């Protein structure tokens, strides 16, 4: 059995797959990779199923030793990775020899980098998923972020090494953008024309207290019309809720499952992976699209991900 | 507010991959029963492409795979489900008890709540433990039960600024709701007591101590009983 030794954990490194859906009635949000597209691509580079578990690193990466060697790839943001002393090419599979050390540093682009290994990270599944839900201490590796001296198991792998890389053009199309596209939220009527105008024309800064539960935004405050009290209801992934103070919050992968603040808008499915790459202090704007447009954009994105030209061998 | 006719519901897209089904805009037993029935029906006969359900007081959020379903088709299928709600049987409510130690370090806001209502702490405890509450739904975090209806005399606004962390098992009140924090999480509800019962245990088959539709009563216990139950 192959393993990964955690020599340094990084800022917040967790085991993630594509999340556990279907447990809303118990109050459990899906969790899963904050940038699922990067995890899927990383898995394909090493020959895994797209949904295999990998390591999600945030802002500052860790140091990992592979005592038995491994076939690995990094996807997502550039954390300046070195395998022993050799700089690793981004989004390209590489074979680590037994005893080699992978070192990642602070991010040079977005918020998250994914380490995928052939065979995937093997942990006991909780409700069918390897994803860590940090807030409730469920799933992943002991329900928490990795610590120094943790030992992770790598699932069994039988395939041989092939040098795969992602077509630069595709990387470009999928990369970060500072404009997030949104559809109207279920309580959009609670906001006056003026409030909507400032929401769609203003620039928002991602707050320092942002995490996998939600991203707090700083910028033009949004006032509701009237002083209605909302009845708590289910909240969707990427919902942008506006508490009484008027500073919007984007609800994210480890979100609360229900909430009582009005939602002005919702990030479209095709842009959710970009939310996972937003760092504190990044500046963003919002652009309104229709639900039909949002669906077309998602279909286009999936077509790009399914295209033969995406992965070069 | 209009009364809903049989099976009536409103649909509202929440995102490009989710749809809200509302049974009115009021917390009523009637809406709650419809939520329970639709939830049960959707769990018994899942719709292909539906990925998640988030029930609440008078709504269910239905999340779906936008590559397999669209809002219009989902609405159409759901209408077919709604007409069957009246003939749906739902399980009898379970009656449960939650031993709770009120006041002091267990309920740091008890005295303030008493002061706000011009009552003694003992009167607050007696009132809170005097009624049987309905579990409207589980939400917010795993196993957090939204309980109602709180006796009107106890309705208290949330804290002005939420606590960074509330101890697990804390019993809180917010507006006309009461509930128990299953995990140490941030929270703005006023804490009046604490239960030693583990509200969410992933190693248990049912995981959550409370389920949608249960009835539950708080049973006042002493600090010594709390310690004994916590170590049991």
How much is the ipTM here?
0.96
Same domain, A40 and A156: yes
Same domain, A194 and A274: yes
Residues A86-132: tens digit of each pLDDT: 999 888 999 999 999 999 999 999 999 999 999 999 999 999 999 99
CA dist., res. A256 & res. A270, Å (int): 21
Cα B163 to its chain centre, rounded Å, is 20
Same domain, A240 and A118: no
- Transcribe chain B into DSSP letters: -PPPPTT--EEEEEETTEEEEES-SS--HHHHHHHHHHHHHHHHSPPTTEEEEEE-SSEEEEEE-TTT--HHHHHHHHHHHHTTGGG---PPPPEEEEEEEESGGG-TTHHHHHHHHT--HHHHHHHHTSSPEEEEEE-SSTT-EEEEPPPGGG-BPPPSS-EEEE-TTEEEEEBTEEEE-SSSEEE-SEEEEE--S-SB-TTSSS-BSS-TT-EEEEEE--HHHHHHHHH-
A76 CB near a chain B CB, below 8 Å? no
Cα B56 to its chain centre, rounded Å, is 7
pLDDT average, residue stretch A132-149:
96
Residues A18-55: tens digit of each pLDDT: 999 999 999 999 999 999 999 999 999 999 999 999 99
Contact criterion met (CB < 8 Å) for A231 and B27? yes
Q: Which residue of A has its CA nearest to B140?
A: A256
Contact criterion met (CB < 8 Å) for A26 and B61? no
Contact criterion met (CB < 8 Å) for A24 and B146? no
Total residue count of chain B as it appears in this document: 232
End-to-end CA distance of chain B: 49
Q: Which residues of chain B make contact with A294, given a CB cutoff of 8 A?
A: 16, 66
CA dist., res. A59 & res. A36, Å (int): 16
| B2 has a pLDDT exceeding 50 | no
Q: In the structure, what pLDDT confidence band is assigned to residue B188 with cuts at 50, 70 and 90?
A: confident
Residues A181-200: tens digit of each pLDDT: 999 999 999 999 999 999 99
Residues B85-136: tens digit of each pLDDT: 988 888 889 999 999 999 999 999 999 999 999 999 999 999 999 999 999 9
Give the percent of chain A with pLDDT over 90: 84
End-to-end CA distance of chain A: 27
User: What pLDDT is recorded for position B3?
Assistant: 40
A243 CB near a chain B CB, below 8 Å? no
A232 CB near a chain B CB, below 8 Å? yes
> Domain map of chain B by residue range?
10-87, 95-231
> Of B94, B127, B128, B99, nearest to B215 (Cα)?
B94
Q: What is the CATH number of the domain that holds A39?
A: 2.60.120
A71 CB near a chain B CB, below 8 Å? no
Instruction: Determine if residue A149 is left, alpha or beta; phi over 0 gives left, psi from -120 to 50 gives alpha, anything else beta.
Output: left
Q: Which residues of chain B make contact with A26, given a CB cutoff of 8 A?
A: 138, 142-143, 207-208
CA dist., res. B72 & res. A286, Å (int): 26
Question: How far apart, in Å, are the Cα atoms of A156 and each of A2, A52, A69?
Answer: 8, 12, 13
User: What pLDDT is recorded for position A57?
Assistant: 98
Residue written as token pair 């959710």: A272
Same domain, A82 and A52: yes
Q: Which residues of chain A make contact with B208, given a CB cutoff of 8 A?
A: 26-27
Specify the fold of B95-231: Cyclophilin (2.40.100)
Burial letters A26-57, b for 16+ CB under 10 A, else e: bbbbbbbbbbbbbbbbbbbbbbbeebbbbbbb
| B194 has a pLDDT exceeding 70 | yes
A137 exposed, middle or buried (CB, 10 Å; 0-12, 13-18, 19+)? middle
Give the percent of chain B with pLDDT over 70: 97
Q: In the structure, what pLDDT confidence band is assigned to residue B4 with cuts at 50, 70 and 90?
A: very low
Residue written as token pair 């630069």: A168
Average per-residue pLDDT in chain B?
A: 93
Last residue of a domain, one of A136, A166, A196: A166
Closest partner residue to B146 (CB to CB) among A229, A232, A302 is: A232
Same domain, A154 and A7: yes
Is residue A89, in this structure, part of any structural domain at all? yes
Q: What is the CATH number of the domain that holds A286?
A: 2.40.100.10
CA dist., res. A105 & res. B209, Å (int): 43
Last residue of a domain, one of A166, A195, A228: A166
Determine which of A7-11, A113-117, A230-234, B107-111 has the lowest per-residue pLDDT on average. Answer: A230-234
- Residue A92 is given by DSSP the state B
User: What pLDDT is recorded for position A228?
Assistant: 67
Q: Which residue of B has its CA nearest to A290?
A: B16
Task: Give the pTM.
Answer: 0.94
In a mutagenesis test of the B interface, which of A233, A235, A265, A270 is the best target, namely the one with the most B β-carbons within 10 Å?
A: A233
User: What pLDDT is recorded for position A227?
Assistant: 58
Backbone angles phi, psi at A197, to 5 degrees: -60, -45
CA dist., res. A59 & res. A267, Å (int): 22
CA angle B35, B39, B40 (to 5 degrees): 120
> Of A303, A307, A295, A230, nearest to A264 (Cα)?
A230
Same domain, A123 and A262: no
Contact criterion met (CB < 8 Å) for B141 and A137? no
Q: Which residues of chain A make contact with B55, given a CB cutoff of 8 A?
A: 24-25, 234
Is residue A112, in this structure, part of any structural domain at all? yes
In a mutagenesis test of the A interface, which of B1, B15, B159 is the best target, namely the one with the most A β-carbons within 10 Å?
A: B15
Closest partner residue to A231 (CB to CB) among B25, B139, B142 is: B25
Same domain, A280 and A191: yes
Same domain, A81 and A108: yes
Contact criterion met (CB < 8 Å) for B212 and A25? yes
Q: Say if residues A53 and A114 touch (Cβ distance below 8 Å).
A: no
| A162 has a pLDDT exceeding 90 | no
> Of B24, B55, B50, B52, nearest to B38 (Cα)?
B55
**Angstroms from A139 CA to nearest CA on chain B:** 10
- Number of structural domains (chain A) is 2
Contact criterion met (CB < 8 Å) for B54 and A258? yes
Same domain, A141 and A285: no
Q: Say if residues A41 and A75 touch (Cβ distance below 8 Å).
A: yes
A210 is in which domain, residue-wise?
A: 179-306
Is residue A152, in this structure, part of any structural domain at all? yes
User: What pLDDT is recorded for position B161?
Assistant: 80
> Of A279, A295, A18, A309, nearest to A171 (Cα)?
A309
Closest partner residue to B54 (CB to CB) among A186, A229, A234 is: A234
Last residue of a domain, one of A116, A145, A166: A166
Contact criterion met (CB < 8 Å) for A27 and B208? yes
**Angstroms from A24 CA to nearest CA on chain B:** 5
Which structure tokens are listed for A263?
């939602």
Q: In the structure, what pLDDT confidence band is assigned to residue B5 with cuts at 50, 70 and 90?
A: very low
Same domain, A244 and A285: yes
Same domain, A89 and A63: yes
> Of B34, B39, B22, B57, nearest to B177 (Cα)?
B57
Determine which of A104-113, A271-280, B122-131, B159-168 has the lowest per-residue pLDDT on average. Answer: B159-168
Contact criterion met (CB < 8 Å) for B43 and A257? no
Bond before B224 cis per omega within 30 degrees: no
Q: Which residues of chain A make contact with B20, given a CB cutoff of 8 A?
A: 186, 233-234
Q: In the structure, what pLDDT confidence band is assigned to residue B21 with cuts at 50, 70 and 90?
A: very high
Is residue A172, in this structure, part of any structural domain at all? no
Is residue A114, in this structure, part of any structural domain at all? yes
Contact criterion met (CB < 8 Å) for A295 and B27? no
Which value, to the nearest 10 degrees, does the dihedral of the CA atoms of residues B88, B91, B95, B101 take?
Answer: -80
Bigger pLDDT: B161 vs B171: B171
Domains B10-87 and B95-231 share a fold: no
Q: In the structure, what pLDDT confidence band is assigned to residue B1 with cuts at 50, 70 and 90?
A: very low
CATH class of the region B10-87 = alpha beta
| A63 has a pLDDT exceeding 80 | yes
| A75 has a pLDDT exceeding 60 | yes
Same domain, A160 and A192: no
Closest partner residue to B14 (CB to CB) among A136, A186, A232 is: A186
Determine which of A7-11, A89-93, A107-111, B13-17 has the lowest per-residue pLDDT on average. Answer: A89-93
> Of A149, A143, A107, A142, nearest to A31 (Cα)?
A143
Contact criterion met (CB < 8 Å) for A291 and B71? yes
| A230 has a pLDDT exceeding 90 | no
């Amino acid at each position: 059995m192959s393993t990964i030794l955690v020599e340094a954990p990084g800022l917040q490194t967790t085991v993630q797959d594509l999340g556990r859906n279907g447990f809303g009635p118990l109050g459990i949000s899906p969790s899963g990779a904050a940038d699922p597209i990067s995890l899927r691509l990383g898995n394909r580079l090493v020959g895994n199923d797209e949904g295999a578990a990998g390591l999600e690193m945030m802002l500052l990466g860790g140091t990992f030793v592979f005592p038995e060697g491994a076939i690995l790839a990094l996807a997502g943001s550039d954390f300046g990775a070195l395998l022993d002393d050799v700089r690793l090419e981004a989004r390209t599979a590489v074979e680590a020899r037994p005893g080699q050390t992978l070192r990642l540093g602070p991010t040079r682009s977005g918020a998250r980098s994914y380490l995928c290994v052939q065979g995937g990270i093997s942990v006991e599944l909780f409700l069918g998923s390897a994803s860590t839900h940090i807030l409730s201490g469920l799933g992943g590796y002991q329900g928490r972020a990795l610590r120094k001296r943790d030992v992770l198991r790598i699932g069994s792998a039988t395939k041989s090494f092939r040098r795969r890389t992602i077509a630069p053009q595709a990387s470009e199309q999928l990369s970060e953008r500072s404009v997030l596209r949104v559809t109207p939220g279920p309580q959009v009527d609670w906001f006056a024309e003026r409030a909507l105008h400032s929401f769609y024309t203003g620039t928002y800064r991602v707050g320092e207290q942002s995490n996998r539960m939600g991203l707090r935004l700083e910028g033009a405050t949004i006032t509701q019309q009237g002083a209605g009290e909302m009845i708590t209801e289910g909240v969707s992934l990427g919902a942008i809720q506006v508490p009484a103070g008027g500073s919007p919050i984007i609800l994210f992968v480890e979100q609360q499952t229900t909430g009582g603040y009005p939602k002005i808008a919702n990030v479209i499915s095709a842009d959710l992976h970009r939310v996972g790459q937003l760092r504190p202090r990044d500046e963003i704007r919002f652009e309104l699209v229709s639900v039909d447009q949002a669906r077309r954009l998602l279909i286009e994105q999936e077509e790009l991900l399914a295209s033969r030209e995406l992965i070069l061998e | 507010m209009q009364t809903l006719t049989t099976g009536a519901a409103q649909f509202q897209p929440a995102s490009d991959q989710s749809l809200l089904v509302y049974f009115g805009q009021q917390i009523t037993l009637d809406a709650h029963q419809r939520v329970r029935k639709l939830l049960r029906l959707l769990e018994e006969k899942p719709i292909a492409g539906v990925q998640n359900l988030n029930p609440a007081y008078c709504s269910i959020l239905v999340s779906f795979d936008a590559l397999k379903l669209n809002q219009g088709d989902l609405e159409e299928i759901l209408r077919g489900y709604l007409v069957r709600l009246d003939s749906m049987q739902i399980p009898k409510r379970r009656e449960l008890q939650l031993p709770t130690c009120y006041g002091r370090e267990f309920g740091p806001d008890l005295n303030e709540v008493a002061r706000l209502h011009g009552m003694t702490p003992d009167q607050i405890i007696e009132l809170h433990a005097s009624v049987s509450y309905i579990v409207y739904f589980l939400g917010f975090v795993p196993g957090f039960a939204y309980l109602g209806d709180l006796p009107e005399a106890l309705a208290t606004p949330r804290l002005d600024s939420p606590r960074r962390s509330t101890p697990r098992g804390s019993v809180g009140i917010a507006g006309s709701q009461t509930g128990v924090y299953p995990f140490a999480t941030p929270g703005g509800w006023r804490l009046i007591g604490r239960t030693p019962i583990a509200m969410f245990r992933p190693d248990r088959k049912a995981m959550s101590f409370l389920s949608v539709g249960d009835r539950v009563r708080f049973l006042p216990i002493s600090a010594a009983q709390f310690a004994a139950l916590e170590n049991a």
